[in-house]
Structure 1
C-alpha cells in the first residue's frame, strides 16, 4: 500500500495534477463523542471520509465512506464547511496523484453498526470532544483545522 503525504505551502510539494471532490464526516454519538480513525496510509488521526464517486450525491458519499472506514452507518445532520485551499497538496505515492484539497465536511449521528477497522483505518474509536482539542491525537494541519472549526463553531444545520 502506498503512502499519503500532505504538503502545505511547501516549495517541495509536487504540482497538483488532480482535483477530486471529497468528504469528511464528524459522527457524534449520544455521549457527545466523535468517531475518529487512525489512517493506514499516514498513521494520522482523521474524521472518516474520502472521494465522491460518479453516480452518488455528496451526502451518499459521506455515509458510504463512513461505513467503509468505520463500520458505522450514519445520518448527515449538518455541514461544518468546505475546504479548498490550493496550497494544500495531497500526494499519493502509489500512483503519483498530487491532489489539490477540495473537501466538504459534515456532521452526522450514528444510526447502526459498531466501530471496526478497514484497509483504510487501523484504529476506529469514539473520542470525547474535550480530548480532540488537545495534542493527544496527531493529525495533519488541514484535519486539525477542520476539527478545531467543528469544536469551536459547530455545524450549520441543513435540511
Structure 2
C-alpha cells in the first residue's frame, strides 16, 4: 500500500502500527512530541512537506508486520466510512403472536428478513421503516420503540432497528423485483425462517415479551 497523502490520521495509524508511545514515535521520526500530539488532536491536518517525507521514509523502512498493521487500520477506517454512508432502517412489525417478514432473493440465495430500507442523508429512520414496510408489504404500521443500532456483521451497514405495531392492511408482495414472498411468521417459530444467531438480540427480547 502506498500512502499518497499523509494526514494526522495516517500518522497516528503508523504510530499504532509501530506500537510506539507518542514519545517513542517522536524519537523514531526525529520530530517533537507536540507534533505527534497535534496529529492525535487534529487527524485531518496535513503535515508539512518535510514531515511527510519523514513519514514516507519511516513507512518504507518498516517491516512487514508494521505495514500489515497499518493497512489494517486503513481498511477498518474505510469500512467505518462506508457504514456511516449507508444507514438502513429495519421494521420489526408485530401482529399478535406473528411478525412480518419478507423473502429476498440474492442470486441463488433466498433469505427471510424484516422489511428494511436505506435512509438517505438527513432522512428520518423511523419514517423510512414505516414507509418501506408499506411499499414492500402493503402493511401499515406504527413505530413503537427504537431497539438500538449496530454495524451489521455481514452487510457492514449501520442498521437502526424499530419495533412496530400493526395498524391495518393485508400482507402482499409489493416489490416483486426484490422480494420472492411476504409472510406473517409465528414468533415462536421464527428460527425456522431466520437463524437466531443472525438476529439482533434486542429484537429477540422484544418479540419474546409478546409471545
Q: Which range, TM-score by smaller chain?
A: 0.5 to 0.7
**Which has a greater percent of helix?**
2
Question: How far is the alpha carbon of 1:128 from its aligned partner?
Answer: 1.2
Which residue pairs with 1:28 in the alignment?
A: 94
Greater Cα radius of gyration, structure 1 or 2: 2
Match for 1:145 among 188, 191, 199? Answer: 199
Relative contact order higher in (CA < 8 Å, ≥ 6 apart): 1
Name the TM-score, length of structure 2 as normaliser.
Answer: 0.52
Question: How far is the alpha carbon of 1:70 from its aligned partner?
Answer: 1.1
d(CA) in 2 for partners of 1:115, 1:27? 11
The question of whether the paired residues in 2 share the 8 Å contact of 1:45 and 1:139 is answered with: no
Is 1:37 the counterpart of 2:102 in the alignment?
A: yes
The question of whether the paired residues in 2 share the 8 Å contact of 1:44 and 1:139 is answered with: no
In structure 2, the CA distance between the partners of 1:59 and 1:145, relative to structure 1 (3 Å rule), is same
Q: What whole-Å deviation, never above 9, does each CA across 1:88-141 have from its counterpart, x for those lacking one? A: 353xxxxxxxxx320000010122221111222211111111001x3x214596
**Which has a greater percent of strand?**
1
Structure 1 gaps of 5+ residues are 1-14, 91-99
> Could you list the runs of 4 or more consecutive aligned residues of structure 1 that deviate by over 4 angstroms after TM superposition?
138-141
- Secondary structure (helix, strand or coil) at the match of 2:110 reads coil
Name the TM-score, length of structure 1 as normaliser.
Answer: 0.67
Which residue pairs with 1:103 in the alignment?
A: 159
- Secondary structure (helix, strand or coil) at the match of 2:136 reads helix
Is 1:113 the counterpart of 2:173 in the alignment?
A: no
RMSD of Structure 2 on Structure 1 (CA): 2.5
